[in-house]
Amino acid sequence: MYKKSVRRRRAVLALLVSLSIALLTVYFGESASGGLHAVQRGFLEVMAPLQEGASRALKPVSDLVGWTGDVIDAKSENEDLKQQNEELRAQLAAAQTAERDARQLRGLVGFNESARFPDGHDPVPARVIGRSPTVWYSAITIDKGSDQGVRDDQPVVSGAGLVGRVSDVAPDAARVTLITDHTSGVSAQIVPDGPNGLVKATVGNPNDLILDFVQKGRAVRRGATVVTSGWRSSRLESLFPRGIPVGRVSRVDSDERELYQRVHLKPFADLRELDVVEVLTRNTGAVQNAQASP
């Protein structure tokens, strides 16, 4: 029974194949006005409206599918762009930080090799690891301390000039009081042969220092350089050795009612962007010579 069914199906399939071949032969052999071509045209005329209607009905679904795919692709691309942007931003920040550190280190090397570097001192380079939380820029914390030879009241410089003095020391860290702190006072002189005075802070403005107690009648030229005066007596010695650049004269206030003129300075060191500094420690030979001098 099963075999008869299989033979019957094969016979029907062979008949259909033969009929298809015959129809194709007739179709390609007859003219455009032939019967089979007319049947084809009729079929197309019947099916065309149905196909158009189905296309219109399915178009929103097709558009939705396409829009969903575009959104998924756009989100994926957006995430990739965000990641690339973050990576580029991190690379840029690292490059800018490295360039800034290199610039400050070059400044320190230039200061150490110049005639401005005070005799009898050894530089201890340090990195700034903390800053004053207020807007006054009054103190910083560095990563060198007593284990590296840092002591209280030692001067601290950048490659551009004076920064401040060590005010508190731990074994591996130290606090530096900046020259912009209201408690700071630095004896200084306008060079080459100008008057002496005391450099004090202008509260709230780290870009403006005051060279106070400058006698009237002493000519002060705008743009003149101010350096530490480094005075010394038989018993006392200035905390800051002579010749460290402090700032440049920006303007002079003169009041007839006052005994002194106020000289404004712009500090050479950018105290808001300190990353690398040096502590000037006294070397052994200098200490011995100072103790032996009358």
Q: Which residue has the tokens 């380079």?
A: 125
Q: Is the dihedral of CA 186, 191, 192, 196 positive or negative?
A: negative
Percentage, residues of the chain above pLDDT 90: 25
Contact 213, 127 (CB under 8 A): no
Contact 283, 120 (CB under 8 A): yes
Q: What is the pLDDT of residues 30-44, one digit of tens each?
A: 555 665 555 555 555
Q: What is the pLDDT of residues 157-194, one digit of tens each?
A: 998 899 999 999 999 999 999 998 888 889 999 988 88
Burial of 138 (0-12, 13-18, 19+ CB in 10 A): buried
Nearest to 156 by CA among 146, 141, 170: 141
- pLDDT value for 288: 46
Task: Tell how strand 162-170 and strand 173-178 pair up.
Answer: antiparallel
Burial 51-90 (b: 16+ CB within 10 A, else e): eeeeeeeeeeeeeeeeeeeeeeeeeeeeeeeeeeeeeeee
Going along the chain from its start, the domains and CATH numbers come out as 121-285 (2.40.10.340)
- At residue 3, does pLDDT exceed 80? no
Q: Which helix (H) or strand (E) holds 262?
A: strand 260-267
Contact 182, 240 (CB under 8 A): no
Nearest to 293 by CA among 219, 207, 228, 233: 233
Mean pLDDT over the full length of the chain: 76
Q: How many CA atoms lie within 13 A of 262 on its CB side?
A: 12
- Span 218-228, mean pLDDT? 89
pTM of the model: 0.64
Percentage, residues of the chain above pLDDT 70: 65
